[in-house]
């Protein structure tokens, strides 16, 4: 039976060629692949590796330390996405700081933080701006609006990151990437096409069972042809150009900078910071942030998990001292983290 | 935090859209999309519509497999 007559599932289940390592970059892909039972379809020679696409997981310890510093030493109100609250810093988490009297508000969006600041003019409000190209436009819109409306009690502590540089850093970790669909909904497909010229293969896909299974089948077929490839398997959301409006607001408000990724170290020009025109909204400048050097638990292997160098249950802390209720590492805190997924669904090594 | 929610636009005015995401209704920013109408589906990230959804996954994946 020829492949074109097979379904995507049959292509995967009957694959008997050389081993293929596929890195699912996005944390939501990791969780959906577990939740949908897709790992159970995979033969032993298809390895799925969880990558660095969970923004909470790749945020370094010193960012948490900076947030705790602002909350405790500068008495600001921290507005944040909920899963950052429990990420351990060097001394403690934002949850611990809150239990000691710091003001920490959980918000759904940067605009909600803006609205909180507008309603609480007597408080100084700092939004923890983490995220990739998916969430960065929302932070930029909030800051631009704050500038337009002269909202002076609002600022950002930035740790925004961009994905293409991470793909290059992880080039040798996988034979192909499952690219995060919504990053490319914003940025378009140009960077993926450029990566093909560097020998980096990948497929953009969505998050339903059919989309993920189809993408894996496409990788198997294209990989067999023996040369680098790219395919957009999610054109219902991802266009070649992406969102020009989102790209423009990011370009207007932020500029590239070097960024530290938990586990990957500093990747040149892989971060975003506020441009000089918006520096009054930069919490590091506004509150004269000292240089903080964070230290994570030395037994925690989140850094290796994020590079695909070990599975979560290869960490001595996994499921023992590190659980979703009492996380030690960021990958266990965030619902999108690989350790959280392995713990929740009972990780399977093969596939 | 970094989770995309597909949602149906119920109404839209001045760049703010009321959307229905699997029964949950809330207002989101739609200022980056300029051709939205009620009934359209959008992908929402952190309270912001980042893209319009133009097809369903069934039709799209069938076509990709046919082309393969």
**Which domains does chain A possess?**
1-287 (3.40.50.11740), 302-345 (no CATH)
- Which residues pair with residue A26 across a beta bridge? A53
pLDDT at residue A2 tops 60: no
CATH 3.40.50.920 for domain B5-67, yes or no, is no
Percent of chain A at pLDDT > 70 equals: 97
Residue A166: partners with Cβ closer than 8 Å, 6 or more residues away: A25, A51, A52, A261, A264, A267, A270
Cβ atoms of A107 and A77 within 8 Å: the answer is no
pLDDT at residue A31 tops 70: yes
Say yes or no for a CB contact (<8 Å) between B3 and A54. Answer: no
| Cβ pairs bridging A and B (under 8 Å) | 122
Give the lowest-confidence range in A103-107, A143-147, A189-193, B64-68. B64-68
Say yes or no for a CB contact (<8 Å) between A3 and B68. Answer: yes
**Model confidence at A53, in pLDDT bands (50, 70, 90)?**
confident
**Model confidence at A348, in pLDDT bands (50, 70, 90)?**
low
pLDDT at residue A1 tops 80: no
pLDDT at residue A106 tops 80: yes
In this predicted structure, what is the pLDDT of residue A285?
Answer: 98
ipTM: 0.95
In this predicted structure, what is the pLDDT of residue A171?
Answer: 87
List chain B domain ranges. Answer: 5-67
Query: Which chain B residues touch A340 with a CB distance below 8 Å?
Result: none
Q: In chain B, what are the helix, strand and coil shares in percent, each to the nearest 5?
A: 15, 45, 35
Query: Which chain A residues touch B63 with a CB distance below 8 Å?
Result: none
In this predicted structure, what is the pLDDT of residue B1?
Answer: 78
In this predicted structure, what is the pLDDT of residue A172?
Answer: 87
**Distance, CA of A214 to CA of A31 (rounded, Å):** 17
Nearest to A261 by CA among A17, A73, A23, A62: A62
pLDDT at residue A351 tops 60: no
Tell me the nearest-neighbour CA distance from A3 into chain B, angstroms.
Answer: 9
In this predicted structure, what is the pLDDT of residue A350?
Answer: 46
Considering only residues A310 and B29, tell me which one the structure prediction assigns the higher pLDDT.
B29
Q: Which of A54, A112, A243 sits opposite B32 (nearest CB)?
A: A243
Hey, is the C-beta of A84 within 8 angstroms of any chain B C-beta? yes
Tell me the nearest-neighbour CA distance from A247 into chain B, angstroms.
Answer: 10
Query: Which chain B residues touch A210 with a CB distance below 8 Å?
Result: 57-58, 61
**Model confidence at A336, in pLDDT bands (50, 70, 90)?**
confident
A257-296 residues touching B, CB cutoff 8 A: none
In this predicted structure, what is the pLDDT of residue A47?
Answer: 92
pTM: 0.93
Hey, is the C-beta of A235 within 8 angstroms of any chain B C-beta? yes
């Amino acid at each position: 039976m020829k492949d074109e007559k097979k379904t995507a599932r049959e292509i995967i289940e009957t694959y008997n060629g050389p081993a293929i390592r596929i890195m699912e970059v996005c944390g939501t892909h990791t969780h959906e692949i577990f939740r949908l039972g897709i790992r159970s379809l995979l033969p032993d020679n298809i390895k799925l590796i969880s990558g660095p696409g969970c923004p909470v997981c790749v945020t370094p310890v010193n960012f948490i330390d900076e947030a705790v510093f602002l909350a405790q030493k500068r008495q600001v109100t921290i507005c944040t996405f909920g899963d950052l609250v429990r990420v351990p810093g060097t001394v403690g988490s934002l949850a611990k700081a809150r239990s000691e009297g710091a003001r920490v508000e959980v918000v759904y969006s940067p605009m909600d933080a803006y609205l909180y600041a507008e309603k609480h003019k007597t408080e100084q409000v700092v939004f923890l701006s983490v995220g990739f190209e998916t969430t960065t436009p929302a932070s930029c819109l909030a800051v631009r609006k704050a500038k337009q409306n002269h909202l002076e009690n609002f600022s950002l502590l930035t740790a925004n990151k961009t994905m293409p540089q991470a793909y290059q850093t992880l080039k040798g970790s996988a034979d192909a990437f499952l690219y995060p669909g919504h990053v490319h909904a914003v940025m378009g497909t140009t960077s993926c096409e450029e990566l093909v010229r560097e020998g980096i293969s990948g497929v953009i896909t969505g998050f339903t069972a059919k989309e993920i299974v189809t993408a894996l089948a496409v990788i198997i077929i294209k990989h067999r042809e023996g040369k680098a490839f790219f395919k957009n398997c999610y054109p219902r959301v991802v266009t070649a150009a992406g969102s020009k409006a989102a790209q423009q607001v990011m370009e207007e408000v932020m500029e590239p900078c070097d960024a530290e990724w938990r586990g990957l170290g500093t990747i040149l020009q892989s971060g975003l910071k506020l441009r000089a025109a918006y520096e009054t909204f930069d919490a590091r400048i506004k509150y004269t942030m000292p240089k903080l050097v964070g230290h994570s638990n030395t037994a925690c292997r989140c850094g290796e998990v994020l590079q695909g160098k070990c599975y979560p249950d290869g960490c001595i802390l996994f499921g023992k001292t590190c659980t979703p209720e009492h996380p030690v590492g960021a990958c266990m805190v965030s619902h999108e983290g690989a350790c959280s997924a392995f713990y929740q669904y009972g990780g399977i090594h093969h596939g | 935090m970094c989770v995309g929610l597909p949602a149906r636009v119920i109404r839209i005015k001045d760049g703010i859209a009321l959307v229905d995401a699997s029964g949950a209704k809330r207002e989101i920013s739609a200022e980056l999309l300029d051709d939205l109408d009620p009934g359209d589906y959008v992908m929402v990230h952190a309270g912001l519509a980042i893209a319009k959804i133009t097809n369903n996954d069934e039709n799209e994946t069938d076509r990709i497999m046919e082309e393969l």
